[in-house]
Amino acid sequence: MARQRRYGPNQLAEPPAPSALVVLLRQFRSPLIYILIGAVAVTTALGDYLDAAVIAAVLAINATVGFVQERKADHAVRALAQMVVPRTRVVRDGAGAGSWLRILAVAVSVPLVVELDKLLRRRGAGTNTSLPSTIRT
């Protein structure tokens, strides 16, 4: 516990939320949007300002709706991630160790478990540090 107090929890840092500007600029990453921006430029160059304004308004409405939806979705996913924290109870020598640990990886592939078992057996020969045979392949 002293090590955890000194260095903090053994978990990956959560990536920061994208800035509002990045989310807004993402709304313009589509071939159809590029065509509409080109149409605004062409209709403006031809002097048809009403059509250019209508197309620009459609672009603005599309960007606004996409921005709002993406921000709401990001907030919802982050809130759900805070609510759902996978945990496991530590068992050592057949008895509970009395603490709960956060699970960092939900699933581990079998080849990784086998390699970890081999590593533990090499490092702790005779110290009962290998993985249980029930999860070996």
pLDDT digits (tens, 9 = 90+) for 42-55: 999 999 999 999 99
Same domain, 95 and 134: no
Same domain, 65 and 17: yes
Please tell me the predicted confidence (pLDDT) of residue 133. 52
Please tell me the predicted confidence (pLDDT) of residue 43. 97
Same domain, 82 and 135: no
Same domain, 52 and 90: yes
Same domain, 81 and 127: no
Closest C-alpha among 10, 7, 15 to residue 104: 10
Across the range 89-101, mean pLDDT stands at 58
Give residue 6's pLDDT band: very low, low, confident or very high (50, 70, 90).
Answer: confident
Rounded-to-integer distance, Cα 79 and Cα 71, Å: 12
Structure confidence by residue, pLDDT tens digits, 11-65 = 667 788 889 999 999 999 999 999 999 999 999 999 999 999 999 999 999 999 9
Across the range 65-77, mean pLDDT stands at 93
Same domain, 92 and 126: no
- Does residue 9 surpass a pLDDT of 90? no
Mean pLDDT of all residues belonging to the chain: 76
- pTM for the predicted model, two decimal places: 0.56
Full residue range of the structural domain in which residue 63 is found: 1-104
Same domain, 37 and 11: yes
More confident residue, 2 or 110: 2
Same domain, 72 and 19: yes
- Structurally, the chain folds into a number of domains equal to 2
Helix axes 49-83, 31-45, angle to 10 degrees: 160
Same domain, 30 and 62: yes
Same domain, 114 and 97: no
Rounded-to-integer distance, Cα 59 and Cα 78, Å: 28
Same domain, 122 and 99: no
Same domain, 9 and 42: yes
